[in-house]
């Protein structure tokens, strides 16, 4: 499975006051289905609907739907980079409208400062899944798609992102023992298994283990 990200810039930042306290929110389209996006990918609505339902139940309703500031380099959420909490994600036509509260974390404070200074920000969804090419020249996201976060906050989402996309999407991700790791974990395991029947296992297993550790 590959790391897949989609950026959307049509979001707005709103301030709400409750109990005398002001809070800053992001609101807008977080996900889009049944349409070929500018990255040449299309998400079937049934795939998004299923995955958003799972994400809402396991993350949003439990207060664990977090997002980061910037472009993370993997499918997991890094707590030291969390800037906001997604509080709602609802289907509206072929779109999923989200709302996220900017938190008083270090990254959240940076996001607030950027917004206050008029910096143009957008959101980027992040997940993993397989891609199936079509005759029309675009890729359809497979039904194994899993949403890591509905929205990271990114700067200038309309700018070309070929460099970052090339690095991030070039990695393969696999599930092993309920743990998500890069494909290199699976490759290392296969190498070790291939050496089991050979006398070279002892001399190679340490170097293979170090190779795996250095890749994490």
- Report, as residue numbers or ranges, the catalytic residues: 71, 124
> Helix or strand or coil: residue 92?
strand
Q: Give CA–CA dist 189/106, Å, rounded.
A: 38
Q: How many CB atoms lie within 10 A of CB 21?
A: 7
Structural element, H or E, at residue 177: none
Nearest CA to 152 out of 102, 116, 90, 92 is that of 102
* Strands, sheet with 95-102, edge to edge from the N-terminal-most edge strand: 11-18, 21-32, 95-102, 82-92, 66-68
Nearest CA to 124 out of 167, 156, 171, 172 is that of 156
Q: How many CB atoms lie within 10 A of CB 38?
A: 9
- Residues paired with residue 129 on neighbouring β-strands, in sequence order: 2
């Amino acid at each position: 499975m590959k790391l897949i990200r989609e950026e959307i810039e049509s979001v707005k930042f709103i301030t709400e006051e409750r109990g005398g306290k002001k809070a800053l929110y992001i609101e807008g389209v977080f996900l889009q289905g049944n349409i070929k996006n500018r990255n040449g990918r299309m998400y079937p609505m049934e795939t998004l609907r299923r995955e958003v339902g799972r994400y809402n139940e396991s993350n949003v309703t439990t207060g664990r739907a977090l997002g980061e500031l910037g472009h993370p380099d993997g499918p997991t959420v890094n707590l030291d980079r969390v800037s906001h909490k997604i509080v709602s994600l609802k289907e509206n036509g072929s779109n999923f409208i989200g709302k996220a509260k900017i938190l008083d974390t270090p990254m959240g404070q940076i996001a607030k400062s950027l917004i206050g200074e008029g910096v143009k920000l957008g959101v980027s969804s992040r997940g993993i899944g397989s891609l199936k090419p079509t005759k029309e020249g675009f890729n359809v996201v497979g039904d194994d798609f899993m949403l890591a976060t509905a929205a990271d906050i990114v700067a200038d989402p309309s700018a070309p992102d070929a460099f970052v996309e090339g690095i991030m999407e070039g990695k393969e991700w696999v599930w092993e023992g309920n743990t998500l790791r890069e494909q290199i974990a699976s490759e290392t395991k296969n190498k070790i298994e291939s050496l089991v029947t050979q006398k070279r296992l002892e001399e190679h297993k340490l170097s293979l283990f170090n190779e795996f550790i250095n890749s994490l």
